[in-house]
């Protein structure tokens, strides 16, 4: 029995898998909030290059990975598939638990899978400079790494409170040559407006998005880049599941359950969509998205048309949401603090193809600690949500006496998040949940999708 299954460079998938080709119900189009009409490609061109907009709307089943993207993905891909034998033993479960280790990339997460692709397509389209926002810094650092690889200029607007509290991510961005400023900043009209009211404004993801988009729209040869939610982002993450399929097949296994943590939805889609294709084609398999109780878009939200951002600047996206005005609790899993869920993930959820489950903060850290003390690797707080769910499934397998195969995505490593483990170990972590009434209020004016 092997502990790890590697794929060689030549076994790396040659194309991304696009679930839009296999959806049982077509994806509702994004809408212009002023007219309620579908958004046309040219309306997105102010912020994205046309080649990525085409990918966003494509229904081709497979899209070839360009050579220059492949060359960079091979810096750390294919990632190892590992069998969590020590965790299985600890749980005394008959289940086999496998995890796909996406933490081996230079910035330590799955994020560069799409960062590399996005920077490449922007470069091909003649773009010279990108802007983005970042909260805790995972996305900003992945995009900085990718921009460095292609000689693309980058400016990251980082939520000021994180900029001050989490200098490691800022330094990582700068090490790869990216420029990172605290948001709100004096560099944009939106930022100056926020600063006028309060020169020490702590900022928010919504404000940082406003600044990054304004910068992209008003600067020469500049576009904007987003790290999750959109179809093309999920497309680029499909390499995770495609590799896992090959790796499991090489040892004669097929998963009974596939699990990913779900914030915007990209790592969850990455591990699960290639398996969902099998499910749509008749294969029996369960797929579970694991989210925080404090941002429960799938487990407590509704399928509505909502803004992708907090400030209401984006088109209306068809997604499970708890309302764009919702301010997520300050959990350590910063990457899961999002009010909505990617339209593609929302669609397959509405179609009953996937399940969802939510976990509170302390339970996820307990799961992460069990993982660190069995399998060794210290997970990112986001990843702890997938682990909590995998442990639950393994316990259920024990109760039922079933030898099921569980696969989850180990989306990121926790080194930079060690202070959150300190808080957990010293009993300072807090649980959060959301009263049902609050969600009804937040969603009241949004258009429901059936």
Residue ranges that bind a copy of itself, judged by CB under 8 A: 2-4, 6, 8-10, 71, 74-76, 86, 104-106, 108, 145, 148-149, 167-168, 171-172, 174-177, 369, 372-373, 375-378, 415-416, 418-419, 421-422, 425
Name the H helices within 296-435: 297-300, 343-350, 361-372, 381-400, 418-425
User: Which is nearer to a copy of itself, 57 or 372 (by Cβ)?
Assistant: 372
For the bound state, the minimum distance from the C-beta of residue 167 to a copy of itself, rounded and expressed in Å, comes to 7
Q: Which residues contact 129 (CB under 8 A, 6 or more apart)?
A: 152, 153, 154, 155, 219, 220, 221, 222, 223
Sheet holding 316-321, edge to edge: 316-321, 302-307, 447-448
For the bound state, the minimum distance from the C-beta of residue 366 to a copy of itself, rounded and expressed in Å, comes to 12
Pairing of strands 302-307, 447-448: antiparallel
User: Which is nearer to a copy of itself, 169 or 300 (by Cβ)?
Assistant: 169
For the bound state, the minimum distance from the C-beta of residue 175 to a copy of itself, rounded and expressed in Å, comes to 5
Query: Using omega within 30 degrees of 0 as the cis cutoff, is the peptide bond preceding 394 cis?
Result: no
User: Which is nearer to a copy of itself, 155 or 201 (by Cβ)?
Assistant: 155
Joined together, the tokens standing for residue 351 give 């179609």
Q: Are 227 and 308 in contact (CB under 8 A)?
A: no
Q: Are 111 and 142 in contact (CB under 8 A)?
A: yes
Joined together, the tokens standing for residue 425 give 């170990």
DSSP-assigned beta bridge partners for residue 289: 260, 356
Tally Cβ neighbours within 10 Å of residue 164: 14
User: Which is nearer to a copy of itself, 86 or 285 (by Cβ)?
Assistant: 86
Q: Are 280 and 418 in contact (CB under 8 A)?
A: no
* C-alpha to C-alpha distance for 386 and 110, rounded to whole angstroms: 14
Pairing of strands 153-159, 179-183: parallel
* C-alpha to C-alpha distance for 245 and 256, rounded to whole angstroms: 12
* C-alpha to C-alpha distance for 311 and 3, rounded to whole angstroms: 47
* C-alpha to C-alpha distance for 267 and 228, rounded to whole angstroms: 8
User: Which is nearer to a copy of itself, 224 or 365 (by Cβ)?
Assistant: 365
User: Which is nearer to a copy of itself, 426 or 450 (by Cβ)?
Assistant: 426
User: Which is nearer to a copy of itself, 355 or 363 (by Cβ)?
Assistant: 363
For the bound state, the minimum distance from the C-beta of residue 311 to a copy of itself, rounded and expressed in Å, comes to 31
Joined together, the tokens standing for residue 393 give 């499934």
* C-alpha to C-alpha distance for 206 and 210, rounded to whole angstroms: 6
For the bound state, the minimum distance from the C-beta of residue 202 to a copy of itself, rounded and expressed in Å, comes to 22
For the bound state, the minimum distance from the C-beta of residue 32 to a copy of itself, rounded and expressed in Å, comes to 39
User: Which is nearer to a copy of itself, 219 or 250 (by Cβ)?
Assistant: 250
User: Which is nearer to a copy of itself, 41 or 167 (by Cβ)?
Assistant: 167
Q: How far is CA 30 from the centre of its chain?
A: 20
For the bound state, the minimum distance from the C-beta of residue 450 to a copy of itself, rounded and expressed in Å, comes to 45
For the bound state, the minimum distance from the C-beta of residue 433 to a copy of itself, rounded and expressed in Å, comes to 26
For the bound state, the minimum distance from the C-beta of residue 295 to a copy of itself, rounded and expressed in Å, comes to 25
* C-alpha to C-alpha distance for 231 and 216, rounded to whole angstroms: 20
For the bound state, the minimum distance from the C-beta of residue 240 to a copy of itself, rounded and expressed in Å, comes to 17
User: Which is nearer to a copy of itself, 64 or 415 (by Cβ)?
Assistant: 415
């Amino acid at each position: 029995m092997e502990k790890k299954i590697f794929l060689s460079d030549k076994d790396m998938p040659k194309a991304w898998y696009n679930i839009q080709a296999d959806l049982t119900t077509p994806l509702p189009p994004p809408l212009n909030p002023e007219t309620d009409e579908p958004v046309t490609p040219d309306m997105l061109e102010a912020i994205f290059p046309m080649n990525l907009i085409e990918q966003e709307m494509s229904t081709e089943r497979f899209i070839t990975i360009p050579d220059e993207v492949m060359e960079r993905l091979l810096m750390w891909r294919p990632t190892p598939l590992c069998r969590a034998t020590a965790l299985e033993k600890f749980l005394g479960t008959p289940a086999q638990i496998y995890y796909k280790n996406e933490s081996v990339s230079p910035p330590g997460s799955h994020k560069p899978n799409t960062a590399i692709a996005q920077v490449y397509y922007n470069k091909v389209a003649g773009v010279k400079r990108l802007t983005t926002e970042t909260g805790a810094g995972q996305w900003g650092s992945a995009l900085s790494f990718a921009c460095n690889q292609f000689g693309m200029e980058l400016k990251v607007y980082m939520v000021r409170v994180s900029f001050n509290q989490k200098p490691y991510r800022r330094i990582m961005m700068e090490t790869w040559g990216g420029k990172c400023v605290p948001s709100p900043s004096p560099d944009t009209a939106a930022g100056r407006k926020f600063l006028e009211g309060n020169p020490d404004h702590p900022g928010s993801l919504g404000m940082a998005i406003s600044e990054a988009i304004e910068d992209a729209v008003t600067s020469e040869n500049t576009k904007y880049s987003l790290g999750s939610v959109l179809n093309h982002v999920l497309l680029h993450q499909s390499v995770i599941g495609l590799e896992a399929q090959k790796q499991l097949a090489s040892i004669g296994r097929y998963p009974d359950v596939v699990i990913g943590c779900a914030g915007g939805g990209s790592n969850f889609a990455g591990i699960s969509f290639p398996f969902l294709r099998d499910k749509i084609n008749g294969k029996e398999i369960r797929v579970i998205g694991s989210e925080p109780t404090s941002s429960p878009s799938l487990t407590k939200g509704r399928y509505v048309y909502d803004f992708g951002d907090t400030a209401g600047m984006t088109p209306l996206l068809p997604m499970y949401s708890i309302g764009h005005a919702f301010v997520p609790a300050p959990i350590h899993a910063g990457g899961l603090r999002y009010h909505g869920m990617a339209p593609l993930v929302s669609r397959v959820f509405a179609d009953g193809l996937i399940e969802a489950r939510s976990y509170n903060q302390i339970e996820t850290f307990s799961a992460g600690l069990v993982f660190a003390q069995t399998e060794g690797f210290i997970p990112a707080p986001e990843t702890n949500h997938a682990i909590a769910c995998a442990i639950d499934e393994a316990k259920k397998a024990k109760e039922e006496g079933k030898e099921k195969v569980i696969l989850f995505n180990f989306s990121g490593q926790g080194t930079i998040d060690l202070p959150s483990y300190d808080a957990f170990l010293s009993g300072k972590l807090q649980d959060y949940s959301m009263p049902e009434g609050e969600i009804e209020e937040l969603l009241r004016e949004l258009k429901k999708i059936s």
